[in-house]
Every structure is written in C-alpha cells, then in structure tokens.
Amino acid sequence: GPDLASAAGLSRLEVVDEIGSTNTELARLAAVEPDGWGDLSVLVAEHQSAGRGRLQRHWESPTGTSLSVSVLLRPRSRSGRPLPTQGYSWFSPLAALALREALAEAAGLEAGVKWPNDVVIAGRKVSGILAQLAPGAHGGPPAVVLGTGINVGQTEDELPVPTATSVAIEAGRPVAREAVLTAYLKAFGRRYREFCAVDGDPDAPLVAGRGLVGQVQDATITLGKRVRVELPGGRFLEGRATGLDPHGALLVLEDDGSRHAVAAGDVVHLRP
C-alpha cells in the first residue's frame, strides 16, 4: 500500500475488491473532484463486473488471476502548467512500455507491443490498454485515464479467447500478481515523470537517452510487417506498417503505393 505508492511516486493508491470498471470510476472522479486524487493516482480492483475494452467491447477480469489497474493522470510540466493535449496520445504506448518492462522484471518475459494497445508474448495478448480522456472538473484541463488489464494467473482453459495468454502460461510457473503490479507501477511512475519533465515532447531524449517515439518504435512488433487494418464502417487497409507518425498513428504503405496514417482510435481490428 503506502510503501508502493511512495516507491512509485504515486499521489494515491486505492485497492478495492469489486467494481464495475476501474476506468469508469476514475473518469467519474476526474469530473467531480478538481484535483482530489493528485496528478498520478491509481485504482486497482480485485474484480470488475463490467470491464471494458475499446469500442464497447467486454474485457474479462476474473478474480484472483487477473489485474485491473487504472491510473488517473493530470499531466503537468515541471513549471506546473498543464501538458499540451497533443502529447496525450503517447500515454497509452507509455503504459505498454512500462508493462513490458514489468513483465521482464517480474517474470523474465520478453513482451512486445502490438499497435495500438496490446501487449503480446509470442503473438498472444497478455494485456490490453484502454486510454480515455475525461473532462476535468469545472472546465479544467481534461484528465487522462489509462486502464490496463493484465492476465497473470489464468490457465489455458480460463482464458476468454484463443489469442489470449497469461503471465503464468508464458513463464511456465506461477507469478505473484503483487510482483507484476509493483513492477508496473514503478515503471509507469518513472516513465510518466520523465515524459512530463520534457513537457510531453515524444522526441525529447529521456533518461535512457532515447525519446519516447524511438522507444515505442523499438518495442512495437507491428512495424515492418504486413497488416490488415479494419476501420470504422467496415473499410479495410492492407499493406506494410512502416512506422509511427509524431502523434503515434500507424503509417501504412498499401501495395498501390498509397500511404495512410491510421490513428489508434480509428482501428477496429489489426491483423498481421
């Protein structure tokens, strides 16, 4: 509790047994409490009865084996000014990098980022991230809510879809959820502070010497591969993923030579 919160530089850490959705709860809180929980607060639930994925999809978060973690961010630069909202699209990849780091530290696993919001091991999804903007209270700057669902202890039979996996399956041994949570929050807290300290500039070199864009590019397994992207309205794009643009959109080069930048929010499905 308090030890982890201070080690990770959190303004608040709350753990509850049961909730509808940790994202929904923090978004509600952001709208009613101007600065109530500080600039980096965390809500963890033992079980979500209405866990959400993107585009109104359902996210399964069974008791005892999964982690449901949401952070509420009110990003400010060192000078105390709210961070420009253009940088907000980088928070979801930032969370993915933190989780990747946590899985290496807590379980010795090498995970990759499947653009836009999945963390995968050997092609299967171990975690999904849901980023949302929440209106600030009294017309203040919007807050960011970043939810991460992590499959930690599930066996093969307990997973909802064949494309899913868990930390325990991949590590071949049980891994304590506390270890994953601690490593994730520490890594996230550190990366979040770094990013705020450079005013949310995704190209600014961070402590590791490389900018956020470069780090995300290095970790994103989608790049360089052929992809088929489903867009809203049932349209498809097919081609090679060549990189990320300054807003984190995926650059796709179609076979006819046309180039597209696909914003994370516009993707229904992405298949290799």
Residues that bind ligand BT5 (CB under 6 A): 21-23, 48, 51-55, 57-61, 68-70, 117-118, 125, 128-130, 147-149, 151, 160-161, 164
Q: Is 211 exposed, middle or buried (0-12, 13-18, 19+ CB in 10 A)?
A: middle
Q: How far is the CB of 181 from ligand BT5 (least distance, A)?
A: 12
Q: How far is the CB of 268 from ligand BT5 (least distance, A)?
A: 9
Q: How far is the CB of 150 from ligand BT5 (least distance, A)?
A: 8
- Which is it for the CA torsion 36, 78, 43, 179, positive or negative? negative
What is the bridge-based pairing of β-strands 66-73 and 143-151? antiparallel
Maximal CA-CA distance, the chain = 56
Cross-sheet strand order for the sheet of 269-271: 259-262, 250-254, 236-244, 226-230, 269-271
Of 32 and 161, the one with the shorter C-beta distance to ligand BT5 is 161
> Which residue number has the CB closest to ligand BT5?
128
Q: How far is the CB of 237 from ligand BT5 (least distance, A)?
A: 18
SS3 state of residue 272: coil
Distance CA 77, CA 199 (A): 5
Of 75 and 149, the one with the shorter C-beta distance to ligand BT5 is 149
Q: How far is the CB of 89 from ligand BT5 (least distance, A)?
A: 16
Of 24 and 215, the one with the shorter C-beta distance to ligand BT5 is 24
Q: What residue type is assigned to position 146 of the chain?
A: L
Of 198 and 244, the one with the shorter C-beta distance to ligand BT5 is 244
Of 206 and 229, the one with the shorter C-beta distance to ligand BT5 is 229
Of 197 and 221, the one with the shorter C-beta distance to ligand BT5 is 221
Cross-sheet strand order for the sheet of 40-48: 12-19, 40-48, 66-73, 143-151, 124-134, 118-121, 112-114
Q: How far is the CB of 147 from ligand BT5 (least distance, A)?
A: 2
